[in-house]
Amino acid sequence: MAALTKEETEALIQEVLEVYPEQARKDRAKHLAVNDQSLEKSNKCITSNRKSQPGVMTIRGCAYAGSKGVVWGPVKDMIHISHGPVGCGQYSRAGRRNYYVGTTGVNTFGTMNFTSDFTEKDIVFGGDKKLAKIMTEIEELFPLNKGISIQSECPIGLIGDDIEAVAKKANKEIGKPVVPVRCEGFRGVSQSLGHHIANDAIRDWVLENRDGDDSFATTPYDVAVIGDYNIGGDAWASRTLLEEMGLRVVAQWSGDGTIAEMEKTPKVKLNLIHCYRSMNYIARHMEEKYKIPWIEYNFFGPTKIAESLRKIAALFDETIQAGAEKVIAKYQAEYDAVIAKYKPRLQGKRVMLYVGGLRPRHVIGAYEDLGMEVVGTGYEFAHNDDYDRTIKEMGNATLIYDDVTGYEFEEFVKKVKPDLIGSGIKEKYIFQKMGIPFRQMHSWDYSGPYHGYDGFAIFARDMDMTLNNPCWKQVKAPWKTAESSDVAVAASA
Amino acid sequence: MPSVMLKKNAEGKLVFYVPKKDLEEVAESVEFDSPDKWGGEVLLSDGSKYYFEPLDEQPDFPVTLRAKRLD
């Protein structure tokens, strides 16, 4: 199918909105837009970070997911207590594939689930005593932990437990950082507020721990990688590039990261932000308090990598700038071979994305390097500043959808007919049953890394093996077979 | 009275950021912008105006200050 014109895309949005009741239609219309690169500001065309409509299928998470799952969870040498009922921690345990080095259960705890397992009794009488006891037990059972964070689940805020007081007391007793995080799931409209709360907790309880301590020897080339969660090894693939160009990566936030690295971050010369949405708060804070500049970068696909490496190098001296050129030249043969192999197989294919914090705009470059075109993109929980950055990356007249509902996404796909969809696990099986190639872009579909030059080769291979898999032609949606339409008629009678 | 984080961008222009509103705009003009006086009315590129209590010296950017919205 040829690319849609602006009018056709607008008509498509109107058509999809038609089934909603008037109030919902008016609200949802603000979240769907046709991209127009001439716009400087996204608030002229799209509304974001608003409460989802009751009754629609949203794909968002909660504040606890944003704090425990995203920001704090990957800090490997701390123990993160999911404070509240057991389910929140257990069902999200190890699902995000933040890789780390260490012996789980001895000095690292990334894939384990620690919970206070609230029962009725704790709701009635409060859970502070239980929490204090848990921390003593943790200290006994896992003496090599480097700190504890308390990730609140909904009931903690509802019953008004004073976890800060418990944390302060425990901190004195065990002599390690104990961080209470007020990330109850009901706060805010999506996981985005959880990121913010987690950032604020880092600011208040971690960052100033080493203020006035100059024992850490710094160099002029110290940087921190912020907002890379090492999904499938992403942060490692990024880190090697930065180190090869001559920088010293002092801290990784928070994939394969440690509390000590976080405490050392105020000593660096530059903060490199990959996931702007989840970590810009702490970068802005460090800029104000420690005068550390920060820049955003993008390590998806060779074009964007080269652009980012040069942008980072420009802030340092000539040795680093030469280093960046050396890195780009070193990998050129490698990525040219990847493009030569996969571009002919993927050329002209159209992709629709619907992901989280940074990928709806960051991966566009990687697809374009493979000759593919992104025809629709959207975020679960972005704010206006994310859309400001997206408008420039997307082609004119392409679709942009904020907090898309299950229904809208399906209808858009039916009409736009993309060759590939990149989204999460909740969308995966619907589209696969419709016979459309699908990649999970949250967890890289159990593959990865996709960052860096090494990641690009894996990215290209994965896209090819999904898109050109012969199975898709064999699939017909079960609800489209003759039998099921009979059943549907019977059911509607 | 929003808290506004102010910083200078690469071109030396003032960037105005209100975290709660995701408002990130470049300031077009600042009423008092001399070494011994800073503040007053600030006009943003989207047309909105904010007022800062004038300070006796240039603040050390980036900095967070309270502003009043003028309409």
Residues of A within 8 A of B17 (CB-CB) are 284
| Between A2 and A207, the higher pLDDT residue | A207
Q: Is B5 near chain A, with CB under 8 Å?
A: yes
Distance, in Å, from the CA atom of A493 to the CA atom of B13, rounded to the nearest integer, reads 66
Range of the domain at B21: 3-57+65-70
Element at A5 (helix H, strand E): none
Give the mean model confidence (pLDDT) for residues A260-280: 96
Residue A449's nearest CA partner among A259, A305, A260 is A305
Q: What's residue A490's pLDDT?
A: 65
Q: Is A276 touching B (CB cutoff 8 A)? A: no
Mean pLDDT of A186-199: 95
- pLDDT reading at A493 higher than 70: no
Contact B7, B15 (CB under 8 A): yes
Of B5, B46, B64, the CB nearest to A41: B46
Closest-CA distance of chain A to residue B62, Å: 5
> Given an 8 Å threshold on Cβ–Cβ distance, is B22 in contact with A383?
yes
pLDDT of residue A485: 62
What percentage of chain A exceeds 70 in pLDDT? Answer: 97
Per-residue pLDDT band for A294 (boundaries 50, 70, 90) equals very high
State the average pLDDT over residues A248-259. Answer: 95
**What letters, b where the CB count within 10 A reaches 16 and e where it falls short, cover A264-279?**
bbbbbbbbbbbbbbbb
- A281: chain B residues, CB-CB within 8 Å: 19
Residue with tokens 């160099």: A219
- What is the value of ipTM here, to two decimals? 0.89
Say which CATH number the domain at B29 has.
2.40.50.240
Q: pLDDT, tens digit, for every residue of A111-170? A: 999 999 999 999 999 999 999 999 999 999 999 999 999 999 999 999 999 999 999 999
Is A385 part of the contact surface with chain B (CB cutoff 8 Å)? yes
| Residues of chain A neighbouring B46 (CB-CB closer than 8 A) | 41
Confirm if A105 and A143 have CB atoms less than 8 A apart.
no
pLDDT-derived band at A274 (thresholds 50, 70, 90) equals very high
Contact B22 A384 (CB under 8 A): yes
Alpha-carbon span B41 to B54, nearest angstrom: 9
Please check the confidence at residue A324 and state whether its pLDDT lies above 90. yes
Residue pair A389/A459 in contact (Cβ under 8 Å)? The answer is no
Question: Pick the catalytic residue: A28, A31, A62, A88?
Answer: A62
Handedness of CA A385, A391, A380, A442 (dihedral sign): negative
CB contact under 8 A, A288 and B5: yes
Q: What pLDDT digit, counting tens, does each position of A213-249 carry?
A: 999 999 999 999 999 999 999 999 999 999 999 999 9
- Structural domains in chain A, sorted by start: 1-60+344-493 (3.40.50.1980), 64-209 (3.40.50.1980), 222-325 (3.40.50.1980)
Edge-to-edge order in the sheet of strand B49-55: B63-66, B3-8, B14-18, B23-34, B37-44, B49-55, B68-70
Q: Which of A201-205, A222-226, A428-432, A484-488 has the lowest mean pLDDT?
A: A484-488
Record the tokens describing residue A103, joined without a space: 């012996």
- Look up A62 and say whether it is catalytic: yes
- What integer is the mean pLDDT of A180-204? 96
Q: What pLDDT was estimated at residue A492?
A: 66
Cα A483 from Cα A148, distance rounded (Å)? 56
A488 has a pLDDT exceeding 90? no
- What does pLDDT average to in each consecutive run of 10 residues of chain B (71 residues)? 87 85 84 88 87 89 90 75
Higher-pLDDT residue of A78 and B21 is: A78
Is the Cβ of A388 closer than 8 Å to some Cβ of chain B? yes
pTM over cut 0.90: yes
Tell me if residue A96 is catalytic: yes
pLDDT, tens digit, for every residue of A335-381?
999 999 999 999 999 999 999 889 999 999 999 999 999 999 999 99
Give the residue-averaged pLDDT of A268-284. 95
Q: Name every chain A residue with its beta carbon within 8 A of the beta carbon of B22.
A: 49, 383-385
CB contact under 8 A, A288 and B63: yes
Question: Are B22 and A41 within 8 A, CB to CB?
Answer: no
* Domain count for chain B: 1
Scanning B28-57 for CB atoms below 8 A from A yields 46
Instruction: Among A288, A291, A385, select the one facing B64 at the smallest CB separation.
Output: A288
